[in-house]
Chains A and B, each alone.
Chain A
Amino acid sequence: MVLALLGWIDQPRKFRVDPAITAELDQIRLMPNGIGGAPPEIDFALGQPYENDSYNLSQGKRLYTWFGCSSCHGDGRGAAGPSFLDGWWLYGPEMVSIVASIRDGRPHGMPAFQNRMTIEQIWQLAGYVQTIGAYRAKVSAPSRNDAKHTRPSENRAPAAIIFDEGPVGVDPEQGPNP
C-alpha cells in the first residue's frame, strides 16, 4: 500500500516529450460554446501527467511567472483578469477549457499564447492554473515560492482558505457570461 501511495505521488520525470505526442496534445475538441470538451486520448494514455505530476505542475508555476500571467491574474486572485480562486470558472475548470483559453485566447482581453508557448508548456501552465483554484490540494501541488507571501501556497488549497473573499477582481466588462 505504501508502495502504491509513493508510486502515485511522483512518476519518473520526463523531460523530453516525443513530438508525435505533443502534436496529439494539440488535438483538443471543444464544445461549440467553448466551454468544456474532450481532452485528447493521449492525455489519459499518459496518466494525465499535466494534472498530477509535481514536476509538470512546478514547471507550470514557473511559466506562470515567466509569461507574465500575474500581470492580469495576480497571484491567482485576479486583477484585470479573472480570479482562479473564487470558484468561478468562466469556461469550466476542465483542463481542455483552460488549455483552450491559454492557447486560443478568450474574449475581453485574454490573449492567445499559441505562438508564444509550445503546446506542452500550455498544458503545464493549464495544470498549474487548475491547481491554484482547486478546493482540495493535490498531493503533487507546488509549495510556496521563495518570494513575497501574498496567499497560501497551492499545496494548502488557497481557494478553500480564502474563499470567503468571494469573487474579486473580475473586470466588470467581462461579466459572468463570456
Chain B
Amino acid sequence: MADGAPRKDLRDTALDSAELDRHLTSIWHTRGGLWAAVSTVDHKIIGRRYIITAFVFLFMGGVLSLLMRLQLSQPEARFIGPDRYNQIFTMHGTNMMFLFAVPVMEAMAVYLVPLMVGTRNIAFPRLNAFSYWMFLAGGILLWVAFAIDTGPDVGWFAYVPLAGPQYGTGKRADIWAQMITFTEISALCVAVELVVTIFKQRAPGMSLDRIPLFVWSMLVTSFLVILAMPAIMIASSSLILDRLVGTHFFNPAEGGDVLLWQHLFWFFGHPEVYIIFLPAVGMASTIVATFTGRPVFGYLAMVMALISTGVLAFGLWVHHMFVAGLPRLGESFFTASSMAIAVPAGLQIFCWLATLWMGRPVFKTPLLFVVGFIITFVVGGMTGVMVASVPFDTQVHDTYFVVAHFHYVLIGGAVFPLLGAIYYWFPKITGRMMSETLGRWVFALIFAGFHLTFFPMHILGLAGMPRRVYTYQPELPWSGLNMMVSLSALVLASGFLLFAIDIFRSARNGPAAGSNPWGAATLEWATASPPRCYNFRRMPVVYSGEPLWTEDELQVASGLRVDRRELLVTAVVAATPQARESSVPHSIWPLWAAVATSIVLIWSIFTPWAVVWGSIPVAVALTGWFWPKGAPEEES
C-alpha cells in the first residue's frame, strides 16, 4: 500500500471507478514472487491451480489407460506383467476418481461459484488454500509410490481381504488408504466452503429461486460430499488400523466382517458417482441456457431433480453388492431404489430437450459437448437401469459391460459437460477465446473415439470378459474387439491431445474475449475477463435469475469499506444484506498446516505414534493460522 494507504473506514460510495479500482487492487492483489504465490487465498488463483492440477492428473491417468489398452490389444500379450498391470488399473481408477473427477468439479466451483453468486472471495479462503495443498500432497504421494513400484494394486475399491493385512503385502494398500485421507480432507474442506459461500455470500436479491443452476448443483454436491465422505474416511482408517495395529474390523475369525468394508465403501462410493455427475448437470444446464438464449425450462423441476437425486444417492449402495450373497429381499429394495433414480435423471433430460426445442440453439463447441453428453449419458443411464436389476446384474457385474457402463456415465455424463464447460468458461478465466475450429475437431475426435472405444466393451462383457484381467487366452473370442478398442483408444487420446494443444495455443494467442463473449445471463459475465482480483468493483444486486438478460445495467450496492477486504453477508433464504463481513488476507499458515498434516498422514503409514507426535506441529500451524496478526480484516 505504498501509494497512500487509504484512511480508515474509507467507503466506496464517493469514489469514482478508477480510484475505486486502485484501492481495491491494493488490498486484494496477490503480489509476484514465490512466497506471495504460496500464501495467496484468492479463490481464482487457487481455483485455476486446482483445475490445472486436476487436468494434469487426467492426462497421467489417460496415459495409464493407453498402457492397459496396449497390454490388452492381444491375447496373452507380455508388454506389462500382471503385478504392474494391477498397479496400473488401480492407479487409473484411483487417480481418475479421487485426483481428477471430484477435485476438478470442486475446482471449477472454487473458481466459478463466488463469481456466479456475486461475491469477492470464497468463504474461508485459507481453508481453500489448505485444501489445495492437501490435494496436491495426496496426488504426489500416490504417484511417487507408483513411480517406485509401490503403487496400490488392489483395485480402486480395495476390497478386503485382498487389501487387508494378510493379502495386501507391503505398504501399497496403506498408500491407497492414506491417499484417500488426503483427498477426502481436501474435498470436505471445499464442500464446507461452497455450502457457506452459497448460503451466506450471495448477492443481495439472489433468493433461492434465482440461484444459477450450476450453483444449485454444487450446493447439492457439497452436501453429498459432507454426508458421504465420512464413510470412506472411517473405512480407510479402519483398514489402516487393521493393517497397522491389528484391529479386527474385517477379520471374520474374530467377529469382523468382509462385507462391512463393501457396505462402508459403497455407502460412499455410490454418492461419489453423483458427486461427479451433479456438477456436470449444472454445467450442462448453464451451457444449454446460454446457447439457446433462454432460461432452462423447468427451473424448479431441475432443482427438485438435483435434490432428489442427491437424496436417492444414499439409498443405492447395495447395488454394487448384488452378487455378494445378501438376502434377496434387501436386494429387491435396492433394485427398486436404483431404478427410481432414473426418474429424476429422465426429468432433467426432458427439461433440456424442451429448452433446446423452444430455444434457438447456437452450435458452438460447448453446446456440441452438451449434445454429445445427452446422447452418451442416456446410453449410460439405460445400462444403469440394466445393472440395477439384480438378475441382470448377476451376468454383467464385474465384467467389461460394467466398465463400459461407468465410462459412459463418467466420461459421457461428466467429462463431456466438463470439456464443454472449459470451452465455455475459458474466456472468463483467461480473457481469451479458444479456437472454434479446433474445438469442433476436439469434439468430433473425442465423441467418435469414445464410442468406438467403449461401446464394444458392452459386447465384450456380455461375451464373458471379466474386468481387471491383465490378459486373456487366445481361444476366447475377445481378441478382435479388444484390438478394435485399443485402436479406438488412440482416436480418443488424440482428441484429448488436440484439446491440450488448443488450451496452450489459446491461452497464449487466443483472440481477446471481452467480458461476456457468449451473451450469457449469469453474474460471472458481468465482470472483466479475467476477473480482477476483487471480482466485482461494487457488489452486484440481482432482481432475476438471469440478471444480465433482464437488465441493461449492472445493479450494484455501495457503502463497503475499501481499506480492508470487505464483502457482503446475506440471509440464507432471501439473500437480504446482513453484514459487511471482512475476508481474511493472504497467509502462509495454510501451507504450513498442510505440510504438517501431510507429515502426520504419511508417517502414520509406518507407526501409530506418528499421530501423537505429528499432531504437535499441526496444532502449532493451526494456532498460527488463526492467531490475529493485527490486520484490519481481523477486527470487527
Contact = CB atoms under 8 A, between A and B. Distances in A.
Contact between A and B in the complex (any CB pair below 8 Å): yes
Interface in B240-262: 242-246, 248, 250-254
A70 to B, nearest CB: 15
Interface residues of A, number: 28
B165 interface: yes
B253 A148 contact: yes
Nearest to A56: B169
A172 interface: no
Given A55-B170, A145-B166, A6 B150 contact: yes
B169 A58 contact: yes
Interface stretch (B50-58, B141-149, B442-450): B141-149
A146 B253 contact: yes
B606 interface: yes
B254 A55 contact: no
Interface in B164-182: 164-166, 169-172
Interface string A53-74: 0110110000000000000000
B246 A142 contact: no
A10 B251 contact: no
Nearest to A2: B144
Interface in B151-171: 161, 164-166, 169-171
A12 interface: yes
Contact of B246 (A54, A55, A153): A153
A143 B250 CA distance: 13
Interface of B: 83, 144-145, 148-150, 161, 164-166, 169-172, 242-246, 248, 250-254, 602, 606
Contacts of A145: 165-166
Contacts of B253: 146-149
B246 A146 contact: no
Given A9-B170, A10-B172, A55-B170, A153 B149 contact: no
**Closest 5 pairs (CB-CB, A-B):** A143-B165, A54-B170, A58-B169, A10-B150, A10-B170
Interface of A: 2-3, 6-7, 9-13, 15, 54-55, 57-58, 139-140, 142-149, 152-153, 155-156
The residue in A10, A54, A55, A155 that gathers the most chain B C-beta atoms within 10 A of its C-beta is A10
A12 B149 CA distance: 6
A23 to B, nearest CB: 24
A2 B602 contact: yes
16 contacts: A6-B145, A9-B150, A9-B171, A10-B172, A12-B83, A15-B83, A54-B171, A58-B166, A58-B169, A143-B244, A145-B165, A146-B164, A146-B166, A146-B253, A147-B253, A149-B254
Contacts of B254: 148-149
B144 A3 contact: yes
A54 B169 contact: yes
B173 to A, nearest CB: 10
A57 B170 CA distance: 9
Nearest to B256: A146
B170 A140 contact: yes
A146 B161 contact: yes
Contacts of B172: 10
B171 A10 contact: yes
Nearest to B151: A10
Nearest to B81: A15
A144 B171 contact: no
Nearest to B153: A13
A158 B225 CA distance: 40
Contacts of B150: 6, 9-10
Contact of A144 (B165, B602, B606): B165
Contacts of A55: 169-170
A157 B533 CA distance: 56
Nearest to A53: B170
A156 B169 contact: no
Contacts of B245: 156
The residue in A11, A13, A57 that gathers the most chain B C-beta atoms within 10 A of its C-beta is A13
B217 to A, nearest CB: 38
A115 B145 CA distance: 39
Contacts of A148: 253-254
A151 B315 CA distance: 40
